[in-house]
Amino acid sequence: MVKLQGDFFLLSSYNPALLSISEQQFGNNCKFSLDIKNCHGQSFDNAANMSGKYSGLQARLNNNYISKFFFQMKCFNQFFPMMKRRCFSLVFLLVFHSVQSERFRVLVPDDPIVVTVGDDIVLECQLVPDISLDNLEIRWFTSDSASPVHLYSNGQDRPDVQDKAYRGRTELFKDEFPRGNASLKLKKIKASDGGSYTCFIGSKTYHDEAVIHLEVGGFGHRPWMQLEENNKDGLRIVCKSDGWYPDPVIRWEDGNGQDVTAQSEWEFLKDSRGLITVQSHIDVTSDSVNRFSCFMENRLLRKRREAHVQISDEFFPKINVWLVIFWVVASLVVLAVAADVLVHRKEDQRIQGRSTNNNSTLLCKIGQ
């Protein structure tokens, strides 16, 4: 039902732009109560209303709209004397542009927002057109919790219904409300804050929402390295670091720059804050090079840490090959000389033995 109030005809519509209804005929008589079945608007809906169904103009009149428009109605009998005793109401649309008459959209960035644990971040959310948010509801929420991340309603924040995990860490920019800025500042980011956030803005009759994605990364501390004995013949190099999120990528290199990660092992442990502690080790033997490097990288943040270790020769004494050869040759020479001396000494003893025998024989013959 559409009613005439004084000289104005009340109509509602979603669209704040001008409804170009150039011609409407509401009946032969001007009444204070008019059934919308008798309302036709040919230039607006291409005569769709004349089919007897609620469509076109009638459908617009029949819906529960936000904005209000007024049509001033006059009987122009004096201007149309040829139309005897017939009253045609020429309708002129006057648009009153106000905040409540706007049909708005909520816009957020398309790309995910990347933030480091411990930092503050602003989740951007903008109302288009940029109408004031003072009398609207602003609700930020995630799919993981029934309680909102932040709620602004009836002109004030509602911390009493806020998710406990976010209490004291959220803030709206109220000085930006007149420009339609519904962005949320999230403070002291935690590893658990990562996920999808919905920015919901609504009035009593209309609402819209958009989803923004937040990715959280933890950039761990510089790794520290130590040497330990292993169960085998050699040493174990341990590389450890904490404060990572998500799990970092680990790589080992030897002193020649060769990737030896396949020879290593590692484990990840989550602490009470949800951050990752990483421990990796690699076993080395005496035939290995004496320098190793450990790298840990957070690919989300595109940052890495590294540490290096130099193994002292005291752990794996290096043998000088030339010195060994020298001593081997020297030993052989000594043995050769010793053998030669021994051989010559035996030869001398044999010669001396023969000489003694010959002298004894000669003395015996002379005595006879």
Spans of all domains in the chain? 2-101, 105-217, 224-310
Place of tokens 């706007």: 102
- Do domains 105-217 and 224-310 share one topology? The answer is yes
Q: Is the torsion defined by CA of 260, 262, 265, 269 positive or negative? A: positive
In order, the DSSP letters of 235-284 are: EEEEEEEEEEBSPPEEEEEETTS-B-GGGEEEEEEE-TTS-EEEEEEEEE
**CATH class of the domain comprising 105-217:** mainly beta
What topology does CATH give the domain 224-310?
Immunoglobulin-like (2.60.40)
Tens of pLDDT along the chain (368 residues)? 444 444 434 443 333 333 333 333 333 343 344 444 444 443 334 434 433 444 443 344 344 333 333 333 343 344 444 444 443 333 333 333 444 455 899 999 999 999 999 999 999 999 999 889 999 999 999 988 889 999 999 999 999 999 999 999 999 999 999 999 999 999 999 999 999 999 999 998 899 999 999 999 999 999 999 998 877 667 899 999 999 999 999 999 998 899 999 999 999 999 999 999 999 999 987 767 788 999 999 999 999 999 999 887 665 555 556 666 777 888 888 888 877 777 777 777 777 766 666 655 555 555 55
Distance between CA atoms of residues 30 and 359, nearest Å: 175
pLDDT of residue 197: 97
